[in-house]
Amino acid sequence: MHFDILTLFPGMFKGVFEESIIKRARETGLVSITIHNIRDYATGKHKITDDYPYGGGGGMVMKPEPIFRAVESILGLKEGEKPNVPVILLTPQGRLFSQEVAWELAQHKRIVLICGHYEGVDERVRIHLANDEISIGDYVLTGGEIPAMVIVDAVTRLIPGVLGDPTAVFEDSFTDGLLEYPHYTRPADFRGYKVPEVLLSGNHAAIAQWRREQSLLRTWQRRPDLLKKARLTEADREFLQRLAEGKDSMESRT
Ligand SMILES: C[S@@+](CC[C@H](N)C(=O)[O-])C[C@H]1O[C@@H](n2cnc3c(N)ncnc32)[C@H](O)[C@@H]1O
């Protein structure tokens, strides 16, 4: 998977992609990331990349020419030719990023991410260049750099071979529509706070059932909205029914 990130602030990416799992994924060649400075594609003595908004108002708007030139140059496109890979404009007005969207993006071999800044990006980039728009949440950040980091991180860990344990991503929160069960490690007793007995039992079937029920319980308590779309078995539904009727005490299971 190759990510091309277009930004006016390449320095913001220092460190983020040079540590831990992403660093290893880059070193093993599973992932490559190129940070492109949009200013390098601006023309004129002053390499201007933003300008005042037509119609007035505060804030600056990122100019279209350097962004079009950057994407066309990076992808080897002729002027006006449509990109054949995802060219994603990061914007709080885009579709909401989620684990499902991360899985969708992970199927591609190459992704271009355009980071806006200031008041945003000239609308013609959205209409005539980008073929997708993504928001990482209903809040407004100063720029698209952090959203780009979020997307690269979430997508990278789904690429086969990136995580040491290949099954881990299938158990993560949201993958089957539920939040993940809680994790414990040694010591079994820390200041009198004990690890649930079942996890020490060695009984794999009982552990699997406990984890599934914890997953259902957490989702029911914290994100009941997710249950509507989750993949549930008959046993899951019965467990949820018991929770709703108050027959399964939460305390006894946490
Ligand atoms: C200050 S924001 C511009 C917001 C814009 N004026 C609006 O109200 O929609 C500057 C840039 O940050 C990025 N950005 C801000 N919040 C974002 C979010 N929640 N998701 C994705 N990108 C975001 C976008 O690239 C945007 O062009």
Question: How does pLDDT run across 216-233, given as a tens digit for each residue?
Answer: 999 999 999 999 999 999
User: What is the DSSP code (8-state) at residue 91?
Assistant: E
Please give all residues whose beta carbon lies within 6 A of any atom in ligand 1, as ranges: 90-93, 115-117, 119-121, 135-137, 139-144, 147
CA-to-CA distance for 81 and 221, rounded, in angstroms?
Answer: 49
Q: Which residue has the tokens 């079009």?
A: 68
pTM: 0.94
All domains of the chain, ordered by start, with CATH? 2-156 (3.40.1280.10), 173-253 (1.10.1270.20)
CA count, 13 A, side-chain hemisphere, 106: 19
3-state SS, residue 90 = strand
CA-to-CA distance for 90 and 45, rounded, in angstroms?
Answer: 28
Q: How far is the CA of 90 from the centre of ligand 1 (A)?
A: 7
Residue tagged active-site, from 172, 180, 236, 248: 172
Question: How does pLDDT run across 133-154, given as a tens digit for each residue?
Answer: 999 999 999 999 999 999 999 9
Q: How far is the CA of 115 from the centre of ligand 1 (A)?
A: 9
Which of the four pLDDT bands, split at 50, 70 and 90, describes residue 170? confident
Residue tagged active-site, from 4, 126, 147, 157: 157
CA-to-CA distance for 108 and 250, rounded, in angstroms?
Answer: 42
Residue tagged active-site, from 4, 50, 92, 145: 92
Instruction: Give catalytic status of residue 92 as yes or no.
Output: yes
User: What is the DSSP code (8-state) at residue 53?
Assistant: P
Instruction: Name the residue with higher pLDDT: 90 or 169.
Output: 90
Hey, whose CA ends up nearest to atom 1 of ligand 1?
A: 142
